[in-house]
Chains A and B, each alone.
Chain A
Amino acid sequence: MRKNTLLFLIAGIILLLLFPVFLPRFYVYLLSIILLYGLLATSLNIVLGYGGIFQFHHAVFYGVGAYGTALMLTKTAMPAILAFIVGPLVASALGFILGIICIRLSKLYFGMLQISLGSLVWAIVYRWYSFTGGDDGIHGIPIPEMLSSYIGAYYYTLIITAVCIFLIFKIINSPFGSALQGIRDNPVRSEMIGINVKRHQILALTIAGFFAGVAGSLFVVVDNTVFPDMLFWTLSLEILIMCLLGGWFSFMGPMLGAGVIVALRTFVSTYTVYWALVLGVLMIFVIFFLPNGILGYFEERFKKVFMGSEIKE
């Protein structure tokens, strides 16, 4: 089974590397968007699926990462590479600060407070015309030449996403990841075996903020624009749905969910403006029939085939 997974992975990577050779520009752009949304959803899942924290307003960190990068590129003469580092760092700093404030509350109350504080950040970005460009956002951001073509942007997105997904995978499977999953399942017990629950959660929120910021900086490269909608709460909801749809207890679930939703939004919305209706119906089916998401369902089937009755008891 191990070998199979590895083969799939290698085949997948080769396919992803070859796509720009035979796919038209539009699809390469779409694929870049899917990849960076996948990274965004996966970063949310660090705290949602593995941490059990209801981070309802995750888009804030994505938007702040994007704005951080965009502002560095447009307003300063510093090397571009610095912009791509500063954006995510600002996002993770925000994750840390909001984390410290919100973590006092648990479960849904955490989410509520997070939505309101996140909306505050959105309001600042939306209103501060002289700095952020207000509701116009920032357009025509100067991107380093190497990345400015759509193919360059695609490969950059692919590499950064792959590296980040790998890092997240490492973190989830580290002792810290184990402790985080323990906290998700049972915070009281975790504290009773000597884990400082709140500090672990804050670190997880900081990490999630960082990777969301990376996704934001990737969007700057792919689209050359930033706009306040990137940190509006409706996008947060969309990311949340990506996680649930793909499977929030499966590592690659959010990535799959991102693919499905971005594809739906792109293709269905050419036929009807009510694409959200299709998504709604799809979501109802998922909740009823695949409570663990699409990938979660397949993983379960897969396990049953291999282990027979072992899994059930």
Chain B
Amino acid sequence: MLEVVGISKSFDGFKAVNNAHLSVEKGEIVAVIGPNGAGKTTLFNLITGIIKPDSGRVLFNNEDITGLPPYKICRKHISRSFQIVNVFQRLTVFENVQISILSREKKTWNLFSPSKSFVVKETETILENVGLINKKERITAFLSHGDRKVLEIAMALGGSPEFLILDEPTAGMAPEETSHCIELIKTLSKTMGLTILFCEHDMEIVFRIANRIMVMVRGSTVIQGSCNEVRCNEAVQNAYLGGSDVCLM
């Protein structure tokens, strides 16, 4: 479904992403792992068009989407959430998700009908699915960090994506929030059939939900394979899992 071929990006001579490869099949959950500064977020930014690559290509459903602006990529049903919470602070939870749906339905050029009456039901369904329905009238700035991270996902869902990119979905969450979030991701994959690409520092979570794992070190792909392949790979163990010589079964 998604194919990233030899993509590179440097900032002022620093190679943030250097010839990275990634492939995601339909219906899979793929995790990207790697030490801090490995270029995971940059890779996601390259895929979603927030920054443009120096070289390499991004193919989505066999269509070249390299270097398209983010809003056009979004319209191809790729949605993402952000690592650092990126929501509309002054608006309510409900409005945050509603805008996302309005945008997908191309209704944002409507100047004179009250937006209150648009896509109410769909917004509420999404909020119900992620468990934020009780807080829908809250101003986003007053939400807890965990709730805002969930709202991130809810906004991404507003674009009715086929392909969902989650950048450290559970970072900074309390333990019960984390498990709620993991359940949510699993449900999205199972019941809605979403293809999910995410990155995460918590190895336990990665091994629990990912079908396949891609390991990045210093901007390059070390390996992409099943959980076991990755666990037993020597290069990965040296670079990332602490150089232990036992297979982490």
Contacts and interface: CB of A to CB of B under 8 A. Distances in A.
Q: Do A and B bind each other?
A: yes
Contacts, number: 116
Interface string B97-123: 011101110011111111110100000
A302 to B, nearest CB: 15
Output the residue of A175, A191, A249 with the most chain B CB within 10 A: A175
A189 B100 CA distance: 10
| B interface, size bucket | 35 or more
B66 interface: no
Interface of A: 167, 170-171, 173-179, 181-182, 184-186, 188-197, 200, 203, 249, 311-313
A185 B100 CA distance: 14
B159 A176 contact: no
Given A181-B88, A182-B88, A186-B89, A195 B103 contact: yes
B221 interface: no
Given A171-B112, A313-B138, 4 more contacts: A174-B111, A189-B87, A193-B158, A194-B100
Given A173-B116, A189-B155, A194 B104 contact: yes
Given A171-B111, A200-B108, A185 B91 contact: yes
A152 to B, nearest CB: 30
B111 A312 contact: no
A184 B142 CA distance: 18
Interface of B: 48, 50, 69-71, 74-75, 79-80, 82, 86-91, 95-96, 98-100, 102-104, 107-116, 118, 138-139, 142-144, 155-156, 158-159
A191 B70 contact: yes
A177 B115 contact: yes
A181 B112 contact: no
Contacts of A193: 74, 79, 99-100, 103-104, 155-156, 158-159
A51 to B, nearest CB: 12
A196 B98 CA distance: 16
B110 A192 contact: no
Contact of A189 (B82, B90, B112, B139): B82
B88 A176 contact: no
Contact of B71 (A173, A174, A191): A191
Given A191-B69, A193-B103, A174 B82 contact: no
A216 B159 CA distance: 41
